[in-house]
Amino acid sequence: MKFIHCADLHLDSRMEANLTKEQAKERRQELLGTFARMVAYADREGVRAILIAGDLFDGGHVSRTALHVARDAVLRYPGIDFLYLRGNHDPEDFLRSFEGQLPENLKLFSDTWTSWEYGEVVVSGVELTGENQERIYDALRLSADRVNFVMLHGQVSDYGAGKGIIQIKKLQKRAIDYLALGHVHSYRLERLDDRGVWCYSGCLEGRGFDECGQKGFVLLDIREGRVKTQFIPFGVRQCVEIPVDVSGMDTSPRMLEAVRQAVAQIPPSSLVKVALTGEIPLEAEKSTAYLLQWLRENFYFARLYDRTRLTVPYDSYRHDRSLKGEFIRLVESQGLQDEEKEKIIRMGIRALAGEEPEE
């Protein structure tokens, strides 16, 4: 028997912090499309149920299109159960869209433990509130001779407590085979105890550079009482953040070649953030606008951060009678912090060379 564990889909997320208005609109449609493709994949693979461990939507007002796509997925595949545990971002709009007639294959949870049975597999879940968080652990009752899945949405902690915190130690030795979690947007699989594991499936699509890497869902295959897990990469695009060391390079073309090599294996469909690092010569010619333009021509979306440092040979300028020497000595005498001093020197050297200041 097969199940899918997914979470944090955040359908209808605005995604306008990084992207243009047009790109954000396109990404919202891609996110809906990825959800629909996942459900179609479940149908092809004979998946019995999809475990949605919170944050199916992004909160607030949900567009009619997003509501219709999610509702259609449930209605189109009556042979797949949708076990929907609502998270901290989920509004009531989705359930209201069924106009009081929830389909049999849409299974919900509440603020007390609810269980759904699939042969030898039992799926139990509870929606965390500020009032129930301390009592849910002792209230969990599982049979050791069944395959037990438990669904929760929150932040795992070994010792912490409070709203949204899952006290992982209190779930040990309770006959849990697979703890399906939501809230953290990156895939993570860890041992719970000598019997089971806990897992964050991560989100289906990276929406920004705080959600870098491959995104997808977890496929669970239960055979003879054992649970086999497999992470399935499924996102249309991925967000990638990569540092590029340009130490010693003194021209924009040389730096661009270093950038080219660093991003050579990244798909053009990606959202890329490049951070230039290292120490470069004082009089190096570096155009971040030139480098960023190349990135924008070669990737769906690109950002560039300049974190380089200048190699300033102060001793060689102590007796230099040139205008440049006077300028550097003046800046050095001001008692400025290194970062501020370096910024001023960088701007001054460009101005003395007749170049425009960097953006």
Neighbours of 136 (CB within 10 A): 20
CA neighbours closer than 13 Å in the CB half-sphere of residue 261: 8
Beta-bridge partner residues of 199: 180, 189
Give the model's pLDDT for residue 110: 94
pLDDT tens per residue across all 359 residues of the chain: 999 999 999 999 988 777 889 999 999 999 999 999 999 999 999 999 999 999 999 877 789 999 999 999 999 999 999 999 998 878 888 888 888 899 999 999 999 999 999 999 999 999 998 788 888 999 999 999 999 999 999 999 987 677 789 999 999 999 999 999 999 999 999 999 999 999 999 999 999 999 999 999 999 999 989 999 999 999 999 999 999 999 999 999 999 999 999 999 999 999 999 999 999 988 788 999 999 999 999 999 999 999 998 876 655 556 666 776 777 777 777 777 777 777 777 677 666 656 566 65
Provide the H-helix boundaries in the chain. 21-44, 64-76, 93-96, 136-139, 252-262, 288-298, 314-317, 323-332, 338-352
Q: What's the half-sphere exposure (Cβ side, CA atoms, 13 Å) at 138?
A: 3
Domain boundaries along the sequence of the chain: 2-233, 239-352
What is the number of alpha carbons within 13 Å of residue 258 lying toward its C-beta?
19
Residue 257 and residue 355: Cα distance in Å, rounded? 22
Hey, is 119 helix, strand or coil?
Answer: coil
- Rounded Cα gap, residues 283 and 127, in angstroms: 60
Could you tell me the two tokens for 249?
């390079």
**The 3-state secondary structure of 189-218, one letter per residue:** EEECCCCCEEEECCCCCCCCCCCEECCEEE
Q: Classify residue 204 by burial, with Cβ atoms within 10 Å: 0-12, 13-18, 19+.
A: buried
The pTM for the full model equals 0.86
How far, in Å, CA of 193 to CA of 174, rounded?
Answer: 9
Q: What is the DSSP string of 283-315?
A: T----HHHHHHHHHHHSSEEEEEE--EEE--HH
Q: What tokens were used for 77?
A: 């595949």
On whether the 2-233 domain is CATH 3.50.50.60, my answer is: no
Q: With left for phi above 0 and alpha for psi between -120 and 50, is residue 202 left, alpha or beta?
A: left
Q: 218: which 2 tokens?
A: 């977890």
- 325 by Cβ neighbours in 10 Å (0-12 / 13-18 / 19+) ranks as middle
Radius of gyration of the CA atoms of the chain, in A = 27
Residues in the chain: 359
